[in-house]
Amino acid sequence: MENILRPIYQERASHPDTLAVIMVEKKDQTSPSTDMFDAALLIIVRSAEVPVHIKHYEFNHQKASMHIVTAEQINEWIVLGTNRRIIDWILNGKVLFDRNEYLSLLTDTLNTFPFSERKLKIVMEYGKLIRRYFEGKSFFEAKQYLDAYNHIVHALHHLARLEVIDQGFYPEVTVWNQVRQIEPQVYKLYQELIDSGEPLNKRLELLFLASDFLIHSKADVGAAHLLTILEKKDTWHFAELLAHPEVAYYAVDLSILLEFLVEKQFVDIHLIETKGVGIFHRTYSFKKSY
């Protein structure tokens, strides 16, 4: 496969803006990692008119794709975790070209997983975990058990990813294989939800009880990034937090995350009078005694 694709990737490798070329081959007949193609080429470039450009090829009854992606887009995917297979490609693909050890340095960063980046990814997962948990609980109380099941599965998945990240690893596509070794307690919850012979409503009832404890016990780790930011000022308006460049990564879950932290007494609320009688601005602060 590499020989067939060589003319395509060599042309790209010769361009001064190209930083790296990686090839990933299909592992089996139904392999989703390459979108069912026989091979995929990942071309990482310094800059481009569009951040992602994909081409498809066919030859001798075989198919290949070429993904031209900017370094900035790669970094965004890594931080947000929105394209996990790219991390798999970078860590496990065959390196065909690496300009000035760009890929070696990127791989080292992925393997060492800097603590500051880890804290950001943890709070992103924690915010999603809280949202899914409360949405699932709402469906459960309304006796919409299938919808509740769907949300609690997603909540457990975010909890699993949080545990993996907290141990200094990037969550892989097969995250439950990682969790089984890293945090058996979370893996056991997942097994009980999907394998238990109990009626669905009973399984969910037990899961919500156990999850409530786990979510609360993980608050200091899960919300550490946000709490560190709150410490930097006496009080924050919600709009100020929303405008913070790092908080922007989990802005969609910021409101429910803050309310949860207020309820669990990690964050204090301060009221400021407005011109309206009996109406106050709400501001937030780090609870010093927590």
246-267 per-position pLDDT tens digit: 999 999 999 999 999 999 999 9
Task: Report d(CA 87, CA 173) in Å as an integer.
Answer: 9
Residues 32 and 56 in one domain: yes
Number of domains in the chain: 3
**Residue numbers of the domain that contains 98:** 2-111
pLDDT band at 285 (very low <50, low <70, confident <90, very high): very high
Residue 6: the pLDDT is: 87
Same domain, 215 and 236: no
Same domain flag for 192 and 239: no
28, pLDDT greater than 80: no
pLDDT at 173: 67
Dihedral-angle region of residue 59 (phi above 0 means left; psi in -120 to 50 means alpha; beta otherwise): beta
Q: Which of 222, 257, 273 is the last residue of a domain?
A: 222
Q: What number is the average pLDDT over the span 89-114?
A: 91
Q: Where does a domain end: 196, 222, 248?
A: 222
The average pLDDT across 120-130 equals 95
| Of 134 and 1, more confident | 134
What is d(CA 50, CA 53) in angstroms, rounded to the nearest whole number?
Answer: 7
pLDDT, position 51: 96
Measure the CA–CA gap between 132 and 126, rounded to whole angstroms: 10
Q: What is the pLDDT of residue 222?
A: 96
Specify the pLDDT at position 4: 81
**130 and 68 in one domain?**
no
Q: Does 196 lie in the same domain as 99?
A: no
Answer yes or no: do 186 and 138 share one domain. Answer: yes
Cα–Cα distance, 47 to 130 (Å, whole number): 37
What percent of the chain is predicted at pLDDT more than 70? Answer: 98
Q: What CATH number is given to the structural domain containing 70?
A: 3.30.460.10
Query: The domain that contains 137 carries what CATH number?
Result: 1.20.120.330
Q: How far apart are CA 234 and CA 240, in angstroms?
A: 12
The pLDDT of residue 30 is above 70: no
Residues 53, 13 share a domain: yes
Instruction: Give per-residue pLDDT as tens, 127-172.
Output: 999 999 999 999 999 999 999 999 999 999 999 999 999 998 888 7
Of 98, 74, 68, the C-alpha closest to 88 is 74
Q: Are residues 205 and 242 in the same domain?
A: no
> pTM score, two decimals?
0.83
Which amino acid does the sequence have at 210?
Answer: A
> What pairing do the DSSP bridges indicate for beta strands 18-25 and 39-45?
antiparallel
For residue 178, which of 88, 246, 95, 258 has the smallest C-alpha distance? Answer: 88
243 & 160 share domain: no
* Phi, psi for residue 201 in degrees, rounded to 5: -65, -35
210-217: long-range contacts at Cβ-Cβ below 8 A with a sequence spacing of 24 or more? 211/133, 211/152, 211/155, 211/156, 211/159, 212/133, 214/159, 214/185, 214/186, 214/189, 215/129, 215/130, 215/133, 215/159, 216/264
pLDDT band at 289 (very low <50, low <70, confident <90, very high): low
Q: Are 127 and 162 in contact (CB under 8 A)?
A: no
On whether both 258 and 176 belong to a single domain, the answer is no
Q: Can you tell me the mean pLDDT for 97-104?
A: 95
Which DSSP letter does residue 277 get?
T
Amino acid letter, residue 220:
D
Locate tokens 């998945």: which residue?
Answer: 157
Token readout for 155 is 């909540």
| 264-276 mean pLDDT | 91
Residues 137, 195 share a domain:
yes
**269 and 215 in one domain?**
no
Could you report the per-residue pLDDT of 47-87, keeping only the tens digit for each? 999 999 999 999 888 999 999 999 999 999 988 888 888 88
Residue ending a domain, among 60, 76, 111, is 111
**pLDDT (tens digit, 9 = 90+) per residue, 204-222?**
999 998 888 889 999 999 9
> In this predicted structure, what is the pLDDT of residue 290?
44
Mean pLDDT of the chain: 91
Residue 280 is predicted with a pLDDT of 92
